[in-house]
Amino acid sequence: MFKGSIVALVTPFTDHGVDEWKLAELIERQIVNGTKGIVPCGTTGESPTLSHEEHDKVIEITVDVVHRRIPVIAGTGSNSTAEAVRLTRHAEESGADAALVVTPYYNKPTQQGLYLHFKAVADSVKIPIILYNIEGRCARNIETETVRRLAKDCKNIVGVKEASGNLAQARAVKEACGKKFDLISGDDALTIPMMQLGGAGVISVLANIMPRQVADVVALMLKGKVKEAEAKQKTLLPVIEAMFFETNPIPVKTACGLMGLCAPKLRLPMCEMQPANLTKLKKVLKDHQLI
């Protein structure tokens, strides 16, 4: 259902709130450069520090600017099931094509708790739901059997953004859930191996600054041109590494600022890059003619 290069979009800020004009510009830049889907209000979009009002507004603006040209997959996860339900219902009402729902973080639910959480969200709406599995940020892995149960019991749970870094698990999920269940890489560095396992594409951090290049790699993989995709991906690896010199989205938001795409403003507890890492980032961007 969802395939190609999908960007986990940064949220541009001013001193007073969300920069709505820059947000629209960023979205247009993605569409023009071949991006096949937009994820507003994800981790890269600094969703933890958006107010509920801002969160709703960013999704509304994204839906309006995209205007059905490509899918909008709204980030609507929370560690509170009631809050995740509210956010997901709002996304549906706003016209989002799907919702990306992250594993509840901090409270460390059991696998049964995860099942009940995601089922409650899915049952509350009709739009497709993509699970977001990222144990490193959430302290819980969505086990393969839990994903299988959810895919079986909730017809609108249609895929998973797999960011565990565990290719064996990704393979097991794909085998357990079948061809119609979308496996989407949550890690730019693992896009190709994930797609070789049957993945449909990537929800990408790198696409914020290199949308055309990421789109080209994924398009080549979808055409079965693995060697060509690998050659293109190899040139991107230093930039992918640079995007994680510090915690995401600090490097990518900083890169957006250096490239003049939007202000590099972050919200605490995200803060400016350390000088040594900033120097390294600038070098990588200059080497790839991005600044």
Active site residues: 132, 161
Exposure b/e, 118-134, CB count within 10 A at least 16 = b? bbebbebbebbbbbbbb
Distance CA 265, CA 182 (A): 34
Residue 197, sorted as left (phi over 0), alpha (psi -120 to 50) or beta, turns out to be: alpha
Orientation of helix 226-242 relative to helix 211-222, angle to 10°:
150
| C-alpha dist (Å) from residue 109 to 28, 47, 164, 206, 238 | 39, 21, 17, 31, 36
Distance CA 167, CA 261 (A): 34
- Name 21's Cβ contacts closer than 8 Å, sequence gap at least 6: none
- Name 252's Cβ contacts closer than 8 Å, sequence gap at least 6: 10, 44, 205, 206, 208, 209, 243
Half-sphere exposure in the Cβ direction for 4 (13 Å, CA): 19
Q: Degrees (nearest 5) of the Cα angle 265, 22, 275?
A: 25
Distance CA 62, CA 40 (A): 7
